[in-house]
């Protein structure tokens, strides 16, 4: 599975949003994700991709596309 | 209350109130992590007592003032019992002195253990709790001194007051994930910690307790058990267990 699909899969699962509603442009605001949702998402991403994601790095991540780009730059 | 299948960590549970809480949780069926900082023999005794009553327990040495040790504490619970559900932040110390004589060291040690220790353990446990997605219970042991203040305990009262505000805040942060966070504020409980007080002070205290007796560690444990178990819709609260003490 591509990073893009994996990330969408995790976001869909963690934030309980249908996967076909997620595009690169979808922001976390669009899908009503609060800060705790983001914490949970980060934990799931860290586990899936075996990464450590710092709080500073996550601050700039606003959309699904941002997450995909970030993960692609790390793996 | 049936806590079977749940795992509980009780910090500072080799003696005193923590010991009574560990025993009560064990009796209710929870697997208990008996945390201690120095007295291993006493911690082992608590573990044995829980096992004698048909429960399961392990002892884990960890200093709550050190975050990495708190992480290891939570990890040992998960390694051993496969999950973590309940955290009781009980570890506490006193370094009583009037402010005029209170050394910075006495101030700092009490803040480090009684306040920062709670922060460290909560921070170490909240990710595993979120990951499990099955809610959780955090009970912080505060003190009536943290509500009313108490002469000679500026450090202790400040730390316990901090714990109360921390409790209310964390309850707001974690409520949506079905993790409840409450505090119990014991009054004068008959333990080694209050055993250091002179008879004169004890008599004075007794005259201010409506129920006319010091509390027992079990009196506190009973309320903690309620908050850790059947209190499904109670969070961000502080319950005084003090026999109606007027400070």
The nearest CA of chain B is from the CA of A53 a distance in Å of 14
pLDDT at B79: 98
Give the pLDDT mean for B231-246. Answer: 96
* CA dist B181 → A11, A64, B141 (Å): 28, 32, 11
Binary contact (B127, A36; C-beta < 8 A)? no
Q: Which of B36, B126, B156, B233 does the annotation list as catalytic?
A: B156
Residues 6+ apart with CB under 8 A from B57: B22, B26, B31, B32, B33, B34, B46, B47, B50, B51
What tokens were used for A65?
A: 């596309």
Give the pLDDT mean for B140-160. Answer: 96
User: Phi and psi at residue B92, in whole multiples of 5°?
Assistant: -160, 155
Give the pLDDT mean for B166-181. Answer: 97
Contact A43, B127 (CB under 8 A): yes
Give the pLDDT mean for A23-27. Answer: 91
Interface of A with B in 10-39 (CB under 8 A): 34, 36, 39
Q: What ipTM, to 2 d.p.?
A: 0.80
DSSP state of B244: S
Q: What sign results for the dihedral spanned by CA atoms B44, B50, B54, B58? A: negative
Average pLDDT value over all residues in chain B: 96
Mutate to test the interface with B, among A10, A15, A16, A36 (most CBs of B within 10 A): A36
pLDDT above 80: residue B82? yes
pLDDT above 70: residue A28? yes
Give the pLDDT mean for B178-200. Answer: 90
Report chain B residues whose CB lies below 8 A from the CB of A52.
none
Mutate to test the interface with A, among B71, B122, B126, B127 (most CBs of A within 10 A): B127
The nearest CA of chain B is from the CA of A40 a distance in Å of 7
pLDDT at B1: 67
Catalytic residue flag (residue B119): no
Return the number of other C-beta atoms located less than 10 Å from residue B169's C-beta. 12
The nearest CA of chain B is from the CA of A20 a distance in Å of 24
Q: Which of A9, A13, A20, A34 does the annotation list as catalytic?
A: A34
pLDDT at B145: 96
Contact B163, B142 (CB under 8 A): yes
What tokens were used for B12?
A: 């500072």
DSSP state of B15: S
Give the pLDDT mean for A11-35. Answer: 91
Residues 6+ apart with CB under 8 A from B118: B64, B89, B140, B163, B166
């Amino acid at each position: 599975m591509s990073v893009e699909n994996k990330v969408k899969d995790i976001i869909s699962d963690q934030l309980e949003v249908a996967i076909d509603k997620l595009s690169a442009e979808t922001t976390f605001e669009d899908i009503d994700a609060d800060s705790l949702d983001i914490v949970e998402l980060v934990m799931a991403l860290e586990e899936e991709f075996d990464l450590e994601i710092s709080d500073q790095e996550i601050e700039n991540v606003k959309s699904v596309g941002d997450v995909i780009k970030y993960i692609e730059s790390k793996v | 209350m049936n806590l079977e299948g749940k795992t509980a960590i009780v910090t500072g549970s080799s003696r005193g109130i923590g010991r009574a809480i560990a025993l009560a949780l064990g009796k209710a069926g929870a697997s208990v992590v008996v945390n201690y900082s120095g007295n291993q023999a006493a911690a082992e005794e608590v573990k044995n007592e829980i096992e004698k009553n048909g429960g399961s327990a392990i002892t884990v040495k960890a200093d709550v003032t050190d975050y990495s040790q708190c992480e290891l504490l939570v990890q040992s619970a998960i390694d051993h019992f496969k999950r973590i559900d309940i955290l009781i932040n009980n570890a506490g110390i006193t370094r009583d002195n009037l402010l005029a004589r209170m050394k910075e060291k006495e101030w700092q040690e009490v803040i480090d253990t009684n306040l920062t220790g709670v922060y460290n353990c909560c921070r170490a446990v909240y990710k595993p709790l979120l990951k499990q997605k099955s809610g959780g219970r955090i009970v912080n042991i505060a003190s009536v001194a943290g509500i009313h203040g108490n002469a000679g305990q500026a450090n202790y009262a400040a730390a316990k007051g901090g714990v109360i505000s921390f409790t209310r805040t964390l309850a707001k942060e974690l409520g949506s994930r079905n993790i409840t966070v409450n505090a119990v504020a014991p009054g004068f409980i008959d333990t080694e910690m209050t055993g250091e007080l002179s008879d004169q002070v004890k008599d004075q205290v007794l005259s201010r307790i409506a129920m006319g007796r010091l509390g027992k560690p079990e009196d506190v444990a009973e309320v903690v058990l309620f908050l850790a178990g059947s209190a499904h819709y109670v969070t961000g609260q502080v319950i005084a267990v003090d026999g109606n003490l007027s400070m």
